[in-house]
Amino acid sequence: MAARPPFPPFDEHSARQKVQAAEDAWNTRDPERVALAYTEDSVWRNRDTFLTGREEIVAFLRRKWARELDYALRKELWSYSGNRIAVRFQYECHDATGQWWRSYGNELWEFDEEGLMRRREAGIHDVAITGDERRITGPRPEAERGRPLPFR
C-alpha cells in the first residue's frame, strides 16, 4: 500500500494540502484513483450507506457517478487535530432527467500513520437548483484555491 503524504499529525498547511488533494481526486470521477487514498479496510458512512474496504468504495463511487452526472466538487478545511480533519463541501451535478442539484455536506476524516484515510463520515443534503444557479462547473481553477465556500 503506497503512503499518501502529507502525514499526520497535521498542521494547518498539511491539512489544507490533504483537503485540496481530496478535492482534486474526486473531481477526476475515477473511482479506482479516489479509492487509493483510503486504507484497504477503510470504513465509511455516506448519508445512510455504510461501507467497508476499497472494493465497496469503488463500487459505491461507480454507482454515484453513473447517476450524478457532470459532478463537480469543492472542499474546504473546517478543522484539524492530530490525525483528524473536518471539511465542509459543496458539489453540483444533474440527474438523468436534467435536474441540477447542489449538495452541501460535512465530512469527518481519520488517517493512519501512512496518510491513508481509515474512516470517513459524511452528512449530505441536496437542494434542487436550475442550470442558471450553477456556480461549480468543473475542477477548481488555480486562482480559486483556498477561497472559502459561499454559504448558499
Which residue type does 96 have? Answer: A
Question: Using an 8 Å Cβ cutoff, are 49 and 60 in contact?
Answer: yes
pTM value > 0.85: yes
Q: What is the pLDDT along the chain (152 residues), one digit of tens a residue?
A: 689 999 999 999 999 999 999 999 999 999 999 999 999 999 999 999 999 999 999 999 999 999 999 999 999 999 999 999 999 999 999 999 999 999 999 999 999 999 999 999 999 999 999 999 999 999 999 999 988 999 88
Question: Using an 8 Å Cβ cutoff, are 75 and 103 in contact?
Answer: no
Closest C-alpha among 92, 91, 75, 90 to residue 37: 75
* Cell numbers placing 1: 500500500
- pLDDT at residue 53 in the model: 97
